[in-house]
Structures are given as structure tokens and as C-alpha cells.
Amino acid sequence: MANDVSIDEKTSRWTATGRLARWLLGALSLVGGLTWILVTTHGWVDLGVGLVLAAAGLVLLMPHRIQLPRRLTALVMVVFALVGTAAGLAALTERTCCAYAVIADRGWPFTWLQKGAIADDPATAQRLADASNWNVDLVSLATNVLIWAYAGMLLVVIGVLVRRTRSDHRVPQAG
């Protein structure tokens, strides 16, 4: 496949900036994903997060190998980011710890909402925790949004590759 941009073609500053941003995000995602896989061995969620980051990083680094439809990819990424992050709120982890601390966490794959309370007995701690406000961790929220957006992009990549494979294997009709 030939690259869309020829060497003689002048590119605008915004085009060059976009390519640089794509390359940096791809490189950081690939290195971050591989590091995540190597360093965190807590379970299948961490492996999945690392694989999504690494695969998305590869896709971002190789636009000449996998050309994605821009509007469809952007739409799917936005929808996956919002729906995936919102669906992650269904994951609730609640625990009672130590000197009667009750902590409730929401968010998946990373917890980004949390509330809790400490009291002299478990019933009071539970009542206070239920009445407390949720605290938002913006870094974890942004990470969840990015991972779900990448998952959407990878879904588009799979669709493009399946479509390419089907069109390559079609038998020409005589007639």
C-alpha cells in the first residue's frame, strides 16, 4: 500500500502536529502497555489493560499499515469511551476494614469513584459511608476513558482487517 502523502507534498503545521501527537501517543501507549504487562501480574484485568494499550499503540504507530476510516473510528472511540466508562460504574467493591472503616469503590477497570467512613462500630461506619459523598479520581477516570476509547479503536481495526481479508479472497465472477 502506498502512503497517502508523497515526499514532495507540502504539509501544513497542523498536519505535522497531528502526526507528531499520534506518534507520541502511540509510542507512550505501546511502551506503557508492555510495561504494564511486565510489571503488574495481579490478574486478567491487568493483562487486558496492558494488551489494549500495547495493541492501540501499535495501531497508532503504523497508520500506513492499517488505514482506518476517520469518522467511523472517531465515533466508535467516543461511544466506547463513554459507554465503557459508564458501564464500569456497575462494578462495586465494598469492604469493611481495620477499626471499622467501610470503603465503597466504583469503576472498572480502574476505580475512579470512592466513598467511605470510619467509626467505632461496623453499623455506624456503614451508615456514615452510605451518607457520604462520592469522591472522583480524575486521573483514573481519564485512564478509563482512554482504555475504553482504545478498545473501540481496536474493534474498528478488527472490522477493517476482516473486510480487507474478505475482499482479498473473493473469486472473480465470469460473465
Residue 7: band (very low, low, confident or very high) from pLDDT cuts 50, 70, 90: very low
This prediction has a pTM of 0.73
pLDDT, position 9: 53
- Cα–Cα distance measured from residue 153 to residue 173, given in angstroms and rounded to the nearest whole number: 34
Q: Say if residues 77 and 90 touch (Cβ distance below 8 Å).
A: no
Q: Sign of torsion, CA 167 168 174 175?
A: positive
How many Cβ atoms from other residues are within 10 Å of residue 166's Cβ? Answer: 9
- Cα–Cα distance measured from residue 161 to residue 168, given in angstroms and rounded to the nearest whole number: 10
Is the omega angle on the peptide bond into residue 122 within 30 degrees of 0, that is, cis? Answer: no
Residue range 18-57, pLDDT digits in tens = 788 888 989 999 998 888 888 887 788 888 888 999 999 9
Q: What percent of the chain has pLDDT over 90?
A: 21
The listed range with the strongest mean pLDDT (2-11, 107-116, 160-169) is 107-116
Q: Which long-range contacts (CB under 8 A, 24 or more apart) does 105-109 make?
A: 106/134, 107/140, 107/141, 107/144, 108/45, 108/144, 109/45, 109/48, 109/49, 109/144, 109/147
Q: What percent of the chain has pLDDT over 70?
A: 89
